[in-house]
Amino acid sequence: MEFGDSPREAEFRREVRAFLQAEFVGKYPSESDGENADYQRGQRPEFRSWRQKLAERGWIAPAWPKEYGGAGLGVMEQFIMNEEFAEQRVPAVGGMGVMMVGPTLIVHGNEQQKTEHLSRILSGETRWCQGFSEPEAGSDLASLQTRAVRDGDDFIINGQKIWTSGAHRADWMFMLARTDPEAPKHKGITYFLVDMKSPGIQVRPLTDLANHNVFSEVFFEDVRVPAGNVVGELNRGWYIGTTTLDFERSSIGSAVGLRHQVDAIARDLGFHERATGGGSGERPSLRWELADRYVEAHVARLMSYRVVTMQAKGMIPNHEASMTKLYASELTQRIARTGVKLLGLYGQLRGATAPMRGRYGTRYLTSLSSTIAGGTSEIQRNIIAMRGLGLPRN
């Protein structure tokens, strides 16, 4: 692994930094708190001109090929861009359309699907949600039971999805449904694009621990979906869904965000001690803990370097990606716990009038889902055990 930039990479890093200094720094509203706050911030009207500037360079979808409106950047360039954007706390603008379904359509979609959807994803005209998980199919996704039955030029879909992030705001869903219940479970699944305005779809918001409405249940009752909305071949949806999940898991950049959170705690610790008259000598254990978090955030960064180096060499990270996800998501929770300790009992308070605007209490609650979303810690450990350490399946 090469820690420094090659001359070409260093030049690209300078270009990204210069662009951010000229077009972003000091020009847009700063961070906000709350679940998905980063993505929601990027969608606000004040950021319209920023999205436009990114679009002109193809940087809304840096990984997409140029012919589809992306920038066609290589793995290392994308990584550098993510790192520099994270350093300046640039909000995400692409969402699941850019990160997941767009790249899947580029690989598996037909020309009509690409024409209909890709430019609308890039312009932000359509928002997407991911309809994979069901009440009885999460870690074991291939057990999904939502049925799609052919009827003339359409399929009729019946069933239920759950934990669908952003479903209440989405215009479209990419989803998996069972089209051949007789086939072995991985082989009877098809990948569909579904217009969320279709009659028969009901979205029921779910409230999470932090009282946010991030995800929903989605019910399908005799929902008609044109056969033209099948992506790839009938009954081959599992393999196309895997492509989508690979794109989800390859998203990089959280390690820088983790370090920012540790920096913020260190800053707030100073404010808090001045406000309460406490001195550093009174809370040595918190300081030690903070130092641990700082080191761990650096380790998370090195782990993501390992994954990206493999990708840049054309290798497919497998248990290495699971190690990184496991480590970063558990660290997210440790950082949140350290943050709450900073304020003692006040750390549990939330809302604008609480100390530090209640952000540590909120982060503590929202961090709990990080070891579930995108594959639980137990599943990551299974992958590390079997594919990394060569242990037998239990």
Ligand X SMILES: Cc1cc2nc3c(=O)[nH]c(=O)nc-3n(C[C@H](O)[C@H](O)[C@H](O)COP(=O)(O)OP(=O)(O)OC[C@H]3O[C@@H](n4cnc5c(N)ncnc54)[C@H](O)[C@@H]3O)c2cc1C
Query: What distance in Å separates the CA atoms of residue 324 and residue 202, rounded to the nearest whole number?
Result: 36
15 contacts 62 by C-beta, under 8 angstroms = no
The nearer residue to ligand X, 101 or 129, going by C-beta atoms, is 129
Residue 376 in contact with ligand X, rule: CB under 6 A: yes
62 contacts 73 by C-beta, under 8 angstroms = yes
Binding mask 55-74 for ligand X (x = CB under 6 A): --------------------
256 contacts 87 by C-beta, under 8 angstroms = yes
Beta strands 128-131 and 172-178: pairing type? parallel
**Which residue sits closest to ligand X, CB atoms considered?**
138
201 contacts 226 by C-beta, under 8 angstroms = no
CB-count exposure of residue 101 (10 Å: 0-12, 13-18, 19+): buried
Residue of 23, 217, 248, 273 marked active site = 248
Taking Cα atoms as reference points, which of 143, 13, 128 lies closest to residue 77?
13
Residue 146 in contact with ligand X, rule: CB under 6 A: no
Question: Would you state the structure tokens that stand for residue 350, as one six-digit string?
Answer: 């939330």
Candidate ranges 50-58, 159-167, 272-280, 344-352; the one touching ligand X (CB under 6 A): 159-167
The nearer residue to ligand X, 160 or 229, going by C-beta atoms, is 160
Residue 215 in contact with ligand X, rule: CB under 6 A: yes
The nearer residue to ligand X, 78 or 369, going by C-beta atoms, is 369
The nearer residue to ligand X, 223 or 356, going by C-beta atoms, is 223
148 contacts 223 by C-beta, under 8 angstroms = no
Candidate ranges 26-34, 72-80, 223-231, 370-378; the one touching ligand X (CB under 6 A): 370-378
Residue 382 in contact with ligand X, rule: CB under 6 A: yes
Taking Cα atoms as reference points, which of 210, 209, 331 lies closest to residue 260?
331
DSSP 137: B
Is residue 248 part of the annotated active site? The answer reads yes
- Between the two ends of the chain, the Cα-to-Cα distance in Å is 33
Shortest separation between residue 309's beta carbon and ligand X, angstroms:
27
Q: Which of 104, 113, 165, 244 touches ligand X (CB under 6 A)?
A: 165
Cα–Cα separations (whole angstroms), residue 388 to 197, 249, 273, 296: 44, 17, 45, 22
Residue 133 in contact with ligand X, rule: CB under 6 A: yes
DSSP 151: E
Candidate ranges 120-128, 197-205, 296-304, 365-373; the one touching ligand X (CB under 6 A): 365-373
Residue 372 in contact with ligand X, rule: CB under 6 A: yes
The nearer residue to ligand X, 212 or 224, going by C-beta atoms, is 212
Candidate ranges 149-157, 187-195, 338-346, 372-380; the one touching ligand X (CB under 6 A): 372-380
Q: How many residues bind ligand X (CB under 6 A)?
A: 19
The residues binding ligand X (CB under 6 A) are 129-130, 132-133, 138-139, 163-165, 214-215, 369, 372-373, 375-376, 378-379, 382
